[in-house]
Structure 1
Amino acid sequence: MSVKLFFIAAVLVSSLQIQAQQLPSKKELLTTMRLTNQYFMDKWPDAGKTIITNKERPSSIWTRGVYYEGLMALHSIETQKKKKKEYVDYAMQWGQKHKWSMNGGIKTRNADNHCAGQTYYDLYVLHKRKTPYMLDSIKASIDLMLAGDKIDDWSWIDALQMAMPVFVYLGNEFKNPAYHNRMYEMYAYTKYKHGTNGLYNPADKLWWRDKDFDPPYTEPNGEDCYWSRGNGWIVAALVRTLDALPKTDPHYQEYLQDFKDLCEATAKVQRPDGLWNVSLHDPNHYGGKEITGTALFIYGYAYGINKGILDRNTYLPLITKAWNAIVTDAVHANGFLGYVQGTGKEPKDGQPVTYTSKPDFEDYGLGCLLLAGSEIYKMKR
């Protein structure tokens, strides 16, 4: 057989294998999410306990904020009343112990610190908007950002996931488009102006993590450095923004197109095993399995299908293969998650990433998984 024919045959076999895979049942999805979440809740019964790694940090930081995003997503699809109450009680404990404020206080402009506001808002809505004190601190902090002309705070792409949804929620809640307008100004500054000519590369439809990775910086293979989880944060930011932003917003279509383009670009570089490498365009630079970027891409693809934004026939096989790979390769019997890259901003950070390696923080990886699983759960079978 010629090399060309062999390649075509291999591609066909791979395609058939992907199509042959099945998504787990809703019951199986819940079992996985309950298992991994229970592992974390058992390990951290006190939601206000400080986190100690290389230093001591309050548990209101972004890593925990992302976990609670995932927990609230799990709560939204949980079928057992007892578990739903446990999740809400755990999130309420977190908010109460931090007095519904953020790391850095009201004067903070750091998007990481604003991440907690997403869960505060979810709980506020869950309590039928009868607990306005839950929003007092986050609103006061964002209001300070609206008061001046400074729009360059989001100098790293992770910031978009941490803060953009908060601006959307506040704009909706208080019927004030100024929140939405300022959010776009800051988004556009990140996209078009930070670094050399913005952190978005329209040629590849992917994002550089921050100015340190703008050209002429390259990966060892000469390609641009596109960090998997960083681009995953953008996917999540756009999902949560599109889900809440009125379609009449003047910038809705730009967010929507950026979301479609990013999904298309990441779909092209999925690994044969269903996961994604930490470096999207250099599979040999700390290549290997990693589930946080993978989970965030799943989250985006599933949302896109659910909302009729993405083609089901194109993206469902990618979701199926990716989720099954996570469950098979990363979920331990006790609920611990392997193959989670530690905090950082590029492929070399948090290495080595293995089945048994523990990241410096165990919370955000679980949050990503719960977001992905909950969105798959909503898919029509």
Structure 2
Amino acid sequence: MAGKIWVSLLLWLGLGASAQSIPDKAFVWSAINKANAYWQLNNKPELWAFWDVAAYHTGNMEAFAVTGDQSYLAYSEQWASYNKWMGARSKNKQEWKYKYGEKQDYVLFGDWQICFQTYIDLYNIKPEAYKIERAKEVMEYQMSTPGSDYWWWADGLYMVMPVMTKMYKLTGNKLYLDKLHEYFSYANSIMYDQKTGLYYRDAKYVYPKHKSINGKKDFWARGDGWVFAGLAKVLMDLPADDPHRDVYLSKFKGLAKSIVKSQQSEGYWTRSMLDKDHAPGPETSGTAFFTYGLFWGINNGILKEKDYLPAALKGWKYLSEVALQSDGRIGYVQPIGEKAIPGQVVDEKSTAGFGVGAFLLAACELYRFLNYK
């Protein structure tokens, strides 16, 4: 029966592909564990709670949810404990800042708040008040301020939007949803490009103030990947009757439509999405976030399989055959930055925790897709 379902699916999609186009469930399972085991064997959990590390843990928690591997859970628990279940650790609210900063007084900066996603997930597995105490303190203080401009860069939408919906589910405090919409509205006002349906990384990159080497609009793949994946996570937890649900749905669907248009034939997305010559060649983190979002949208009935499954499968083909190395390393991850950089070398040795986290998100969502079938 399963074989007939896959044959029918392939014919319906009109892919003209062989049965090998549909990933084997056992292979996807193996890829999840291979990539995650490599990362954890080569990176201790005692690292800071800033975004680059914390983004990995959002993927690790998905790997735990899919595999049930207790070592994955223990790794994130050890990391959270090392960081005292906090982001930035300043206790003086008068000095808390939210523009870019890596010091301990940038408590309101989203890159220090993404860790709360994992702390909340860990709390939901084993509820203990201390795990979410700092998250509640920080987010409730932030919401008490008159500012709306907390999310001024695309990455921040992944870092913090899911914190808001997770905290709402936990507390029932509707202010989390109200502020989610308020902050998201500000982000849209400065970063969203109506014509393309894509997001600039931040206001510095809005066309024509900034252009790609060929004079085009420059949309950074990882930046739009953060937004696309962040919206998926928001929609996952957002109440069905939220008055602003259609806003998030519209942006998610619009992004999906724009994203598939710029996919390269090899399955990846270039760092500058609309100018492949700006920084040519494959890049994994943006590709993985896009692949995750596409599979998530299909799995949740938001995106039509016939329209989006081919792109999702092509993304996975790149991730599993090019990005995933024989030893489990995830390669071709653009280093920490905020834009596509002409001439920057990104190759099979280029890896980073946030790229591994994105890969795990994509692989886990694909595994769920295969289970649904």
Quote the sequence identity (%): 31
Amino acid at match of 2:251: D
1:36 alignment counterpart: 35
Distance 2:174 2:15 in 1: 48
Amino acid at match of 1:142: M
**Residue of 349, 352, 368 corresponding to 1:378:** 368
Q: Deviations over 1:164-192 (max 9, x none)?
A: 11111112211111011111111100101
Cα distance, 1:17 vs structure 2: 6.0
Cα distance, 1:310 vs structure 2: 0.4
2:81 alignment counterpart: 96
> What is the TM-score normalised by the length of structure 1?
0.87
The 5 A counterparts of 1:313-324 are 313-324=306-317
1:332 aligns with 2:329: no
Distance 1:17 1:354 in 2: 31
2:104 alignment counterpart: none
The 5 A counterparts of 1:261-272 are 261-272=254-265
CA contact (8 A) 1:275 1:290 kept: yes
CA contact (8 A) 1:232 1:296 kept: yes
Distance 1:74 1:23 in 2: 21
- Give the 3 Å change call, closer, same or farther, for CA 18–354 of structure 1 in structure 2: farther
Distance 2:178 2:343 in 1: 36
The 5 A counterparts of 1:179-328 are 179-192=176-189, 198-216=190-208, 217-328=210-321
Distance 2:340 2:21 in 1: 31
CA contact (8 A) 2:63 2:360 kept: yes
1:60 aligns with 2:56: no
Amino acid at match of 2:117: Q
CA contact (8 A) 2:217 2:274 kept: yes
Partner SS for 2:21: coil
Cα distance, 1:248 vs structure 2: 1.1
2:339 alignment counterpart: 346
2:130 alignment counterpart: 133
The gaps in structure 2 that reach 5 residues or longer are 1-13, 97-106
1:158 aligns with 2:148: no
CA contact (8 A) 1:338 1:354 kept: yes
The gaps in structure 1 that reach 5 residues or longer are 1-14, 50-58, 193-197
Cα distance, 1:19 vs structure 2: 7.2
**How many pairs align?**
343
Q: Deviations over 1:128-175 (max 9, x none)?
A: x3x011000011011111111011121101001000111111122111
Distance 1:201 1:279 in 2: 15
1:145 aligns with 2:164: no
Q: Deviations over 1:225-264 (max 9, x none)?
A: 1000100000011000000010211111100010000000
**Residue of 19, 26, 47 corresponding to 2:45:** 47
Amino acid at match of 1:218: K
CA RMSD across the alignment: 1.6
Runs of 4+ in 1 over 3 A off after TM superposition: 15-21, 104-107
> What is the TM-score normalised by the length of structure 2?
0.89
Amino acid at match of 1:73: E
Distance 1:112 1:203 in 2: 29
